[in-house]
Structure 1
Amino acid sequence: MKVTIDEDRCRGHGICCTVCPEVFDLNDDGYSEVLTPEVPAGFETAVRAAVAQCPERAIVIA
């Protein structure tokens, strides 16, 4: 599973960082970024939860 963030949609709510800090973090500008684009198997469920909870629908799973 691969994950990306649509930078045009992200507003920096940080929910993804709370749900799965192993994969997401906030950058210096306060917007979410992906730390590991290739999601480790143990974090797939948490990444899916982050996708579902993103209010801007900015997280994309490929």
Structure 2
Amino acid sequence: MKAVVDKDTCISCGLCPTICSEIFEMDDDGKAVAKDEEIPDEILDSAKEAEEGCPVSAITVK
């Protein structure tokens, strides 16, 4: 599975890297980005928690 952040929807709240810094980080423009890599099974729950916690539903884990 991989994570994708819709940067047009992102409001730069910083919640996702707080929850799952292994996959999410804030880009130079202040918006969140997801690292382009497969999400390891041991942090999949954390990535899903970031997806569910996003206040504007800008994250998709698929």
Fold shared, TM-score > 0.5 on shorter chain: yes
Aligned residues: 62
| Shift, 1:36, TM fit | 3.9
1:50 aligns to what? 50
Length-normalised TM-score, structure 1: 0.91
Correspondence list, 1:13-52, <5 A: 13-52=13-52
Instruction: Report Cα offsets for 1:42-61 as digits up to 9, x if no partner.
Output: 11000010011100100012
Instruction: Report Cα offsets for 1:6-27 as digits up to 9, x if no partner.
Output: 1111111110010000100001
C-alpha RMSD of matched pairs (Å): 1.0
Task: List gaps (5 residues or longer) in structure 2.
Answer: none
- Do the aligned partners of 1:25 and 1:32 also contact (CA within 8 Å) in 2? yes
Q: What SS is found at the alignment partner of 2:55?
A: coil
Length-normalised TM-score, structure 2: 0.91
AA paired with 2:45? T
- Do the aligned partners of 1:10 and 1:31 also contact (CA within 8 Å) in 2? yes
Task: List gaps (5 residues or longer) in structure 1.
Answer: none
Asked if residue 61 in structure 1 is aligned to residue 56 in structure 2, the reply is: no
